[in-house]
Amino acid sequence: MPAPESGEFREHKITNLTKDDAMSSSFIPTTDDEKTYCTVHPTVESGLRCNRCGRYMCVRCAVHTPVGYRCRQCVNQQQDGFYKAERRDYLLGVATAFGIGLVTGFIVPRLMLFGVLILSFPAGVLIGEAVWRVTGRRRGKYMRQAVIAAIVISCLIGLIPVWQEIGPVVSAVLNPQVGRGAEQLRNQLIGELVGTYLLPALFYMGMASIMASSRLK
């Protein structure tokens, strides 16, 4: 006896899978008489099961893998097997990225725009390679985020001497009590600060973070 139309619509709506996808997963069509629900979202009907643990899962929980659809819990468990880094590796990685970042973050953003464009990429590769080696080539689930944070913080610290030098001038020019005659000077100073320090620093932090992160995948 064919399944009711509502059951057929529910099957298509929940899974939206091809025949090959359905065959690669544990797919059980549902009917109105036999309703199954997602393990994580018990109010959502689903006929799709994880092909590893067999739990029912909805489209929000299903993750497409080369061997079929699996639940997020099984995918996370499998991925955790690739991450061998320990707490000591995180400390070494962050310290290495921070140390190199202090040097590169102090030098690179102070160069002309062309120099920043050229050197930001190798600076990120250098940081990523150094972290990769000092941690014994062990991957960490949050290592990339930690290294990116170290790059950003070290660059901001490297800019402190610059702000100490120009800080009094900036405060004086941006003082609202200054007459209208200083408005042109104020606008000029803001433009120079953005073009000379802010944009190069942001570009360096972005490109160095991307290159270091890609090395640690």
Look at residue 10 in the predicted model and tell me its pLDDT.
Answer: 37
- Percent above pLDDT 70 for the chain: 74
Distances (CA, A) of 128 to 63, 133, 201: 29, 9, 18
Mean predicted confidence (pLDDT) in 136-153: 92
Reported confidence tier of residue 193, pLDDT bands at 50, 70, 90? confident
Average the pLDDT over 165-191 and give the result: 66
Rounded Cα–Cα distance for residues 94 and 71 (Å): 32
Of residues 20 and 103, which shows the higher confidence score?
103
- Ramachandran sector of residue 72 (left: φ over 0; alpha: ψ -120 to 50; beta: rest): alpha
> Cβ distance 148 to 211 under 8 Å?
no
pLDDT computed for residue 137 by the predictor = 87
Question: For residue 89, what are the contacts with CB-CB under 8 A and spacing of at least 6?
Answer: 135, 136, 138, 140, 143
Write the pLDDT tens digit of every residue in 75-110.
888 776 677 788 999 999 999 999 999 999 888 888
Share of the chain above pLDDT 90, in %: 30
Residue of 74, 75, 33, 36 whose CA lies nearest to 15: 36
pTM of the predicted model over 0.75: no
- The b/e string for 135-169 (b: 16+ C-beta within 10 A; e otherwise) is beeebbeebbebbbebbbbbbeebbeebeeebeee
- What confidence score (pLDDT) does residue 123 get? 94
**CA–CA separation, 90 and 55 (whole Å):** 34
**Residue 199 CB-half CA count within 13 A:** 12
Q: Is the pLDDT of residue 20 over 80?
A: no
Q: What is the CA radius of gyration of the chain?
A: 27
Residue 131: left if φ>0, alpha if ψ -120 to 50, beta else—which one?
A: alpha
Checking if the pLDDT of 6 tops 50, the result is no
Which runs of E-coded beta strand occur in the chain?
Answer: 26-27, 48-49, 62-65, 68-71
**What token pair was written down for 193?**
């600060």
CB neighbours (10 Å) of residue 194?
Answer: 12
Mean pLDDT of 131-141: 90
